[in-house]
């Protein structure tokens, strides 16, 4: 988002044009930012064979998935529904990794029949899979390295209490299951959490996975997951992916020198690719002065953007309607009948009823976590690409709310 001559624009399109086109509230994604982030990663990891797989759960609109594919980015999915969306978007099964958790066995079997790369994260599933498929279908194994990492405990996945992956201490057992079923293990995977700033955490995990890989001669890829942190505030820093790439390169090259076939290193960023590309635009319905603060109440809430309420994430807020207004302190809240505070004590250019506010870092886990709570309709989505705005999802209607309900006679 840029301010040019007193007018904010996204990807070169004035915000007033975007809101005229799709109404409010609306999610807007800037393709150029997605491309910048994808290029930055492949540049950072150019010192070794690698593949970037977009974690679809961050932003599942099929147009965004299709755009990722044009950038040479594969797809990381966590449900069969995401696999279907990926195929619908034009992905080939071979470009999709399926990493579910606590999935039903029939769902796993469906993924196999669709031809995607499956990633197994429980020993019981491994046993059943080995019995049914033997070495006819290659699999990856999700390892839990027991590394405590990530922004907070809601988004950490690699620690000792986590439900994800097979414990690194159970690898002997895994090897027994693999050997007795002659399973074909072609990949090893880990994902230790989200918002991981420190490159050392990735390197520590990589080291563990490389050690395990020595025991699996058929492994052709190591998936180091994701969790790359992006800046949320003006003075924030993100994960230094260039430093990580540099330090990994020597290690991977040395490892590959010991293998017949070089391994490929995969990453599956969600947030890194789309967080900064997205803005969520809302309208201010009510300004309410109380004894404690001044509330700016907007035409949205935790039904559209739940991250601040769910795990305390920070989204910068900008009053795009009044760039020259005197800065004042506001508490920005939603319209849901439940406390849904987007941010306390935010300094915004004077906010008036009717103004448009923009939430930054709204590309990842924004729309994809939205709901119809309070029977509110979900917003539209716009993709701005090459200076053109495209509506890629229309706003819902009352008919959408009723579409799946079955009325019985009373």
Ligand X SMILES: *Cc1c(COP(=O)(O)O)cnc(C)c1O
Shortest Å distance, C-beta 368 to ligand X: 10
DSSP character string of 277-312: TEEEEEEEEEEEE-SS-EEEEES--TTT--HHHHH-
Decide if residue 76 touches ligand X (CB under 6 A): yes
Q: Which is nearer to ligand X, 269 or 334 (CB)?
A: 269
Q: Which is nearer to ligand X, 226 or 321 (CB)?
A: 226
Q: Nearest 5°: phi and psi at 76? A: -110, 120
Identified binder of ligand X from the candidate list 15, 22, 38, 55, rule CB under 6 A: 55
How many other CB atoms are found less than 10 A from the CB of residue 230? Answer: 20
Identified binder of ligand X from the candidate list 23, 24, 47, 57, rule CB under 6 A: 57
Distance CA(166)–CA(123), nearest Å, equals 7
- Residues 267-306 touching ligand X, rule: CB under 6 A, are 268-272
Q: Which is nearer to ligand X, 158 or 334 (CB)?
A: 158
Beta strands (DSSP E) in 11-62 are 13-14, 26-30, 50-55
Shortest Å distance, C-beta 98 to ligand X: 10
Q: What is the DSSP letter of 115?
A: T
Kindly report the CA angle at 55 between 201 and 128, in degrees rounded to 5? 90
Shortest Å distance, C-beta 194 to ligand X: 3
Decide if residue 87 touches ligand X (CB under 6 A): no
- Residues 226-265 touching ligand X, rule: CB under 6 A, are 226-228
Q: Which is nearer to ligand X, 191 or 376 (CB)?
A: 191
Q: How many residues bind ligand X (CB under 6 A)?
A: 18
Q: 362: closest CA among 26, 21, 117?
A: 26
- Residues 298-357 touching ligand X, rule: CB under 6 A, are none
- Residues 362-381 touching ligand X, rule: CB under 6 A, are 364
Distance CA(191)–CA(156), nearest Å, equals 9
Identified binder of ligand X from the candidate list 9, 19, 77, 99, rule CB under 6 A: 99
- Per the CB < 8 A criterion, the answer to whether 149 and 155 are in contact is no
Do β-strands 327-333 and 341-349 pair in parallel, antiparallel, or remain unpaired? Answer: antiparallel
Q: For residue 361, give Cα distances in angstroms to 158, 274, 321.
A: 25, 8, 19
- 340 catalytic, yes or no? no
Q: Which is nearer to ligand X, 271 or 346 (CB)?
A: 271
Q: Please identify, among the stretches 103-111, 239-247, 266-274, 276-284, the one whose residues bind ligand X according to the rule CB under 6 A.
A: 266-274
Say which of 20, 160, 257, 337 is annotated catalytic: 337
Long-range contacts of 392-399 (CB under 8 A, 24+ apart): 392/61, 392/63, 392/64, 393/61, 393/367, 395/22, 395/23, 395/26, 396/372
Where helices occur in 118-187 by DSSP H, the ranges are 123-133, 171-181
Q: Which is nearer to ligand X, 144 or 331 (CB)?
A: 144
Distance CA(129)–CA(181), nearest Å, equals 9
Identified binder of ligand X from the candidate list 10, 62, 73, 78, rule CB under 6 A: 78
Q: Which is nearer to ligand X, 268 or 355 (CB)?
A: 268
Decide if residue 194 touches ligand X (CB under 6 A): yes
Task: Determine the residue with CB nearest ligand X.
Answer: 270
Q: How large is the greatest C-alpha to C-alpha distance in the chain, in angstroms?
A: 73
Distance CA(33)–CA(25), nearest Å, equals 21
Identified binder of ligand X from the candidate list 51, 69, 191, 279, rule CB under 6 A: 191
Residues making contact with ligand X (CB under 6 A): 55, 57-58, 76, 78, 99, 191, 194, 225-228, 268-272, 364
Active site residues: 337
């Amino acid at each position: 988002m840029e301010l040019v001559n007193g007018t904010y624009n996204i990807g070169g399109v004035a915000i007033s044009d975007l809101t005229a086109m799709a109404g409010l509230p609306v999610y807007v994604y800037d393709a150029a930012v997605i491309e910048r982030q994808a290029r930055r990663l492949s540049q950072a990891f150019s010192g070794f064979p690698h593949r970037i797989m977009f974690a679809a759960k961050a932003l599942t609109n099929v147009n965004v998935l299709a755009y990722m594919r044009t950038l040479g980015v594969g797809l990381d999915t966590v449900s069969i529904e995401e696999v279907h969306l990926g195929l619908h978007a034009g992905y080939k099964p071979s470009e999709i990794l399926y990493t579910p958790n606590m999935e039903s066995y029939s769902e796993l079997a469906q993924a196999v029949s669709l031809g995607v790369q499956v990633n197994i994260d429980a020993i019981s599933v491994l046993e059943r899979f080995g019995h049914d498929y033997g070495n006819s279908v290659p699999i990856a194994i999700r390892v839990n390295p027991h590394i405590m990492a990530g922004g907070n405990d809601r988004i950490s996945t690699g620690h000792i209490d986590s439900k994800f992956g097979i414990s690194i201490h159970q690898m002997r057992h895994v090897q027994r299951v693999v050997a007795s079923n002659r399973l074909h293990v072609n990949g090893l995977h880990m994902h230790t959490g989200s918002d991981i700033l420190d490159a050392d955490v990735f390197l520590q995990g990589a080291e563990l996975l490389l050690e395990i890989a020595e025991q699996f001669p058929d492994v052709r890829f190591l998936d180091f997951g994701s969790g790359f942190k992006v800046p949320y505030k003006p003075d924030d820093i993100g994960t230094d992916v260039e430093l990580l790439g540099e330090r990994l390169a020597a290690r991977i090259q040395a490892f590959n020198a010991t293998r017949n076939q070089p391994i490929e290193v995969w990453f599956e960023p969600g947030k890194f690719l789309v967080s900064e590309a997205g803005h969520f635009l809302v309208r201010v319905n009510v300004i309410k002065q109380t004894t404690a603060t001044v509330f700016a109440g907007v035409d949205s809430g935790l039904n559209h953007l739940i991250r601040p309420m769910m795990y305390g994430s920070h989204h910068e807020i900008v009053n795009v309607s009044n760039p020259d207004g005197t800065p004042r302190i506001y508490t920005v809240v939603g319209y849901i009948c439940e406390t849904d505070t987007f941010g306390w004590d935010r300094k915004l250019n004077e906010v008036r009823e009717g103004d448009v506010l923009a939430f930054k870092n709204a590309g990842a886990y924004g729309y994809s976590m939205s709901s119809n709570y309070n029977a509110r309709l979900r917003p539209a989505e716009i993709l701005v690409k090459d200076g053109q705005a495209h509506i890629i999802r229309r706003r819902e209607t009352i008919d959408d709310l009723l579409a799946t309900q079955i009325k019985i006679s009373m």
